[in-house]
């Protein structure tokens, strides 16, 4: 009927023109999920009835289509995001039968924008791993090689996009959980600025302000399109990102000129894999060929923030109510136990320390239009190989995500885009970090990089 890897904006245009009906779109993706997902593990819960009901509603209200940014576009939500009347497990045995009474605002916004919900994507328990395995959800396998993991904690979301099981996916990112899986699966993932996406109505923030929700898609334009649909605070939110002066989708048509870009290629926390380093340098060279200046900068934000981040994220895990701690995945249990031992006073002091270090990092980057780093220090991991043991998790974690979590602390927008594959055929990502609240310019730079280094014609063998 149509290419399952079609971009969301193209799909929207076909539906708007009447060349496809919303129901046809929903049925197409539901059939593909039914065929591919059992071996891939991207979806925890498939919401076929809801998708078809959304389609029927859209077909009955076609007169309002022009006001809906995502009219007739299918999407997924991560299984950490509350959905009224739909099981939301948090990847945990403790929440296996949990059915929220109220939608997250982001879920309401996607439906109101004309989207059709295909289902809830897999996540490790409480979003606590950089791989999607363990806990209640099935292992999210990498579409490029199923012996390897899709990454975490938005592994199911990234795998679904890479495998053509829907054009748009919502993820969440508290230390790289959008960017890592997107890098592992060769798609685009954006961690928006702090305050860009609301956590209402269930909470004001997550993980001390580290975590945010955001889009995963097969192109920068699609990420921007989804961001337009979900961005904006709710009254009472603790953080507010200023609204853009024009729609984010328009950034894909802007070509930045003569930018000054910083680059960081190493971290004291862990050696960067040689093939990752080579692909990162090729991305920097592409930026130079586009007319930008790329200047190495002596800064190691991961090392500066690792001690704060370790405790803050563990406290975030420990704050989730559980009936029986013995049910928790042993890897995540390590974080839970550490977090339970932190006093309230120590936590408050850590938050202050984190903000002060983050301020130093943002000030150091202020002269630059953007920062370039590898997304992850290494390519995707084999299923079941990380960590080497639960007891070593909190030592080994930071060596892989050293370039990601610092920008959860600073609150800057950060995006990963594919930059190539290693010799084993596994994807490698290239991270671009924008100025505070600078998503529009970040998306414009990423879109122009996408033109210079086209990638999304590539397809995994499924």
78: annotated active-site residue: yes
The catalytically annotated residue of 76, 92, 153, 448 is 153
Q: Which of 316, 307, 402 is nearest to 357 (CA)?
A: 307
Cα 295 to the chain's mean position, in Å? Answer: 27
120 catalytic? Reply is no
93 is known as an active-site residue: no
Cis-peptide, bond into residue 201, ω within 30° of zero: yes
Q: 177, 186, 267, 448: which one is catalytic?
A: 177
CB 190 within 8 A of CB 227: yes
Q: How far apart are CA 8 and CA 5, in angstroms?
A: 9
- Cα distances from 171 to residues 154, 279, 302, in angstroms, run 5, 25, 22
Options 76, 78, 186, 267, the catalytic residue:
78
Contact assessment for residue 310 and residue 342, using Cβ atoms and an 8 Å cutoff: no
Catalytic amino acids? 78, 153, 177
């Amino acid at each position: 009927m149509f290419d399952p890897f079609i971009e969301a904006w193209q799909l929207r245009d076909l539906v708007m023109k009447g060349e496809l009906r919303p129901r046809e779109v929903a049925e197409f993706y539901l059939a593909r999920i039914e065929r591919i997902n059992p071996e891939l593990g991207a979806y925890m819960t498939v919401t076929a009835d809801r998708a078809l009901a959304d389609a029927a509603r859209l077909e009955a209200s076609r007169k309002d289509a022009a006001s809906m940014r995502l009219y007739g576009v299918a999407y997924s939500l991560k299984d950490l995001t509350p959905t009224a009347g739909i099981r939301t497990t948090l990847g945990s045995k403790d929440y296996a039968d949990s059915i929220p009474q109220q939608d997250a605002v982001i879920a309401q916004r996607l439906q109101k924008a004309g989207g059709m919900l295909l289902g809830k994507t897999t996540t490790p328990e409480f979003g606590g791993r950089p791989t999607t395995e363990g806990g209640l959800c099935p292992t999210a396998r990498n579409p490029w090689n199923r012996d390897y993991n899709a990454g975490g904690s938005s592994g199911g979301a990234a795998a679904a996009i890479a495998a053509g099981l829907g054009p748009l996916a919502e993820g969440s990112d508290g230390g790289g959980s959008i960017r890592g899986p997107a890098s592992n699966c060769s798609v685009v993932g954006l961690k928006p600025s702090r305050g860009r996406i609301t956590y209402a109505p269930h909470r004001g923030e997550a993980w001390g302000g580290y975590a945010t929700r955001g889009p995963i898609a097969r192109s920068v334009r699609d990420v921007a399109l989804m961001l337009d649909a979900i961005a904006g605070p709710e009254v009472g939110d603790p953080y507010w990102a200023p609204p853009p002066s024009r729609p984010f989708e328009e950034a894909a048509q802007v070509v930045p000129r003569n930018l000054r870009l910083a680059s960081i290629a190493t971290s004291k926390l862990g050696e960067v894999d040689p093939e990752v380093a080579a692909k990162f340098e090729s991305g920097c060279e592409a930026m130079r060929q586009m007319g930008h200046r790329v200047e190495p900068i002596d800064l190691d934000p991961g090392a500066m923030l690792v001690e704060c981040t370790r405790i803050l994220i563990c406290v975030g895990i420990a704050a989730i109510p559980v009936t029986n701690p013995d049910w928790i995945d042993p890897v995540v249990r390590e974080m839970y136990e550490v977090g339970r031992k932190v006093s309230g006073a120590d936590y408050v002091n850590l938050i202050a320390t984190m903000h002060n270090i983050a301020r130093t990092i943002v000030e150091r980057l202020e002269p630059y239009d953007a920062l370039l780093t590898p997304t992850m220090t290494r390519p995707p991991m084999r299923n079941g190989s990380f960590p080497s043991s639960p007891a070593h998790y909190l030592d080994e974690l930071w060596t892989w995500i050293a370039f990601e979590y610092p920008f959860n602390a600073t609150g800057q927008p950060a995006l990963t885009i594919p930059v190539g594959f290693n010799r084993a055929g596994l994807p490698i990502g290239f991270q671009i970090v924008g100025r505070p609240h600078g998503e529009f310019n970040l998306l414009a730079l990423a879109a122009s990089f996408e033109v210079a280094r086209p990638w999304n014609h590539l397809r995994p063998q499924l």
